[in-house]
Structure 1
């Protein structure tokens, strides 16, 4: 009877060590997965933010061109590729403050993207949303209105309609 008790205790010990080993292995694997998932660069967000930089650069170029041409209602903004060759010319309606004009709608924000970037509203096959936000108002008029361009993953940037600058979600 002693031998069977000792064998049973030995079997329990083996089973306990097996369970502990499996748990330790599962915890280590889970930790590695979380570590590598969180350290993976957010490429879609980085591409979106580069579009934000380009949008701001185009808005500033349009502003200075508007100043140089005597503050007309519209300008002709020329787009170039990375080699410096002209790819497109687009008319840009300018607002009274000298920044590209935006209708106070989501569609107005989408049209702004097209005027200034001449790019489809997508990043790596994912659609970019363009939403209008009124911001603060004075006498019923929005004074800090902005367009928010974002991905469903949560990355976004805001374009200030009356200042022509871009702010990013992590600022």
Structure 2
């Protein structure tokens, strides 16, 4: 009789373990489904944050340019590091290099690799640099979200939705 009770207890324990594993599997499946369902939205929020950071740093450098009496190189402090930044005659971040100019501007402003959540960010010069219009750089994710930077007026604009038409 003692052996019979012990085997019933083992069977009950095994049944309890199976139930727990099944419940955990269901919870994990729900979490994974929810995560992948929200992944595009997470990427858009992340890219929005990058856009805001870019615009904020561009504005900060321009303000420093005014305070320093409009020099050709602004010494800006980002992350407790003094960084010399080349600006154009209007005080906006620019580079004299034509090869990969937009990637260099990204590097100056963001100081991070051109990647967001393992997705590459492309830097394309939409409008070539000239004295009248400046340079327009477009920074774009593969899904179509982008923002543009105009070195003539410092404007940062763009879209975070693939369905948006400016």
| TM above 0.5 | yes
Deviation at 1:46, TM superposition (A): 2.1
Matched, 1:96 2:86: no
Task: Give runs of aligned pairs for residues 38-117 of structure 1, distance below 5 A.
Answer: 41-80=40-79, 86=80, 88-103=81-96, 105=98, 107-117=100-110
Where do 4+ consecutive residues of structure 1 move more than 6 Å? none
Distance 1:42 1:159 in 2: 23
Q: Does structure 2 retain, via aligned residues, the 8 Å contact 1:105–1:132?
A: no
Distance 2:39 2:105 in 1: 32
In the superposition, relative to structure 1, how do residues 92 and 101 fare at CA in structure 2: closer, same or farther (>3 Å)?
A: same
Deviation at 1:98, TM superposition (A): 1.0
Structure 2 residues not aligned, in runs of 5+: 1-32
Q: What do you get for the CA RMSD once the two structures are aligned?
A: 2.6
Structure 1 residues not aligned, in runs of 5+: 1-32, 81-85
Distance 2:114 2:96 in 1: 18
From 113, 133, 146, give the equivalent of 1:143.
133
* Helix, strand or coil at the partner of 2:100: helix
Matched, 1:166 2:165: no
Larger Rg over CA atoms: 1
**Could you tell me the TM-score, scaled by structure 2's length?**
0.66
Aligned to 2:19: none
**Could you tell me the TM-score, scaled by structure 1's length?**
0.64
* Helix, strand or coil at the partner of 1:42: helix
Aligned to 1:83: none
